Amino acid sequence: MKKTLLGLVGIAITLVSIIIAFMFYKTINNIIIYSSVDSYAKKYANNNLLRYVEVSDSDKSLYDYDLETFDYNIIDKGIEITNYSGISKRLVIPSYIDGKKVISISKNAISSNEYVKSIVISKNIEKIYIKWLNNITIECFNGKYCNELKKNDKLNVIVLNDSDIVNFNNSYVDFTYNISDEVTITNYVGSDNTLVIPSHINGYPVTKLSFDAIYLEAIYIPNTVTSISGNFISKLANTFLVTTIISSIVALTIYLIMLFTNKGNNIKESFYNVPLVIVSIIYLLLIAYVTHLMRINPFFFYRYVVLMITITFIYIILGIVLKIIKVENKKYDEKMSNVGSFNKEIINLLDDSDLDFKDIIEEIKYSDPQSTEMTKEIENTIIDLIEKTSQENLEESKKEISKLIKKRNRIIKDNK
């Protein structure tokens, strides 16, 4: 009955682990991919059974943006741009960098870049070294500094309409990426559960995504992306689910084997099984807990797999060790069950004799109580001698018996 109850506890814990994993898997596959109709992202979503929302051409401007990075100095009132090393032809100067206003563009920041043909500035800009911008178009929204620039006949200034959409929040880099002639985004380090992938970084097209995005609720992928690799979404989700199911079933199988291979029902058998049962339940609970950790922290995945394997390995080793200890304890108990039986048998035999065996009785009392297979023959010889002893050969028998007792004790001592 106790075994059945413990077995049901193990099955319940295993089912909880699998249910948690399945819920997480379903959550992952509920991610929404936003992209245009002819994009690679749509094909990826369809191939991996992910939800897809089409972004119309008229709405693309709400999502598409170019990420730009700059060298800059922090000055009294905010940020001064000192260099841009990208290849964007139309460069949007961010309104803020690291939470500070971008208020100035230094004389060498743009002029040394052969690619930039126009810059778009926000209303935060207060100073530009204009003599270095003779060949560059300046786009700005109507405002005090924009009007000053407009009055300068040497500059080509375009005043934007208030309805024009410009993303000035284009300098926050929450990616790690590699650039050659194109960009591969290798990691996302932000914390938002919605993500917009830039179409360009410093003017280079973003063509490849290779990072874990399984915890996102929604992601916009631009048309520039032509490859999604690594464990981006679905592969990692599938691997997680399969890993959890296999680990949980292996855990349950090992647990049930450990539990039901015990055939004893007595108190000692139950006592020997207590450590194994405790370790087994802890093992199943750890599998369930680690599954929960993975659900709330997807970055935990690779450590999760290693930890699952480690926990299982440790459990198997502990199970084997505890089984060995149990077997050795049973052997020891069987061996110790005979402890003192020889001594008692000899003393009883001597007490029943009419002959004077007091000195032999004392010697037997202080002899090693544990018998072994190697001493059986000596012990049987002692018994035969006692039974055959008469008054006439008493002293001679006592000497021989004493020698055999000493020999027996020496053998036991050497083998301990």
pLDDT in the model for residue 352: 79
Element (H, E) at 67: strand 66-67
Per-residue pLDDT of the chain (416 residues; tens, 9 = 90+): 566 776 787 788 778 777 766 666 655 556 789 998 889 999 888 877 678 899 988 888 888 889 999 999 998 889 999 999 999 999 999 999 988 999 999 888 887 788 999 999 999 999 888 777 768 899 999 999 999 989 888 889 999 998 888 889 888 878 889 998 999 998 888 888 888 999 999 999 999 998 877 667 889 999 999 998 866 765 555 566 666 677 677 777 776 776 676 555 544 454 455 666 666 667 667 766 666 565 555 445 555 566 666 766 776 676 677 667 767 666 655 554 554 567 777 777 777 788 888 888 888 877 777 777 778 888 888 888 888 888 888 888 888 888 888 888 888 887 76
pLDDT of residue 307: 64
Q: Which residues, in sequence order, are CB contacts of 210 under 8 Å at separation 6+?
A: 184, 185, 186, 228, 229, 230, 232
Q: Show the CA angle centred on residue 6, arms to residues 4 and 12, nearest 5°.
A: 100
CA distance 228 to 210: 6
Q: Domain residues of the chain, as ranges?
A: 2-21+235-336, 32-63+173-232, 70-160, 341-415
**Predicted pLDDT of residue 185:** 92
pLDDT at position 336 is: 47
- Longest Cα–Cα distance of the chain, Å, equals 145
Cα separation, 252 vs 42, in Å, equals 40
Phi, psi of 266, deg, nearest 5 = -80, 175
Cβ atoms of 162 and 141 within 8 Å: the answer is yes
Whether the Cβ atoms of residue 51 and residue 218 lie closer than 8 Å to each other: no
Do 84 and 110 meet the contact criterion of CB atoms below 8 Å apart?
A: yes
**DSSP assignment, residue 125?**
-
DSSP characters over 182-215: SEEEEEE----SEEE--SEETTEEEEEE-S--TT
| DSSP character at residue 392 | T
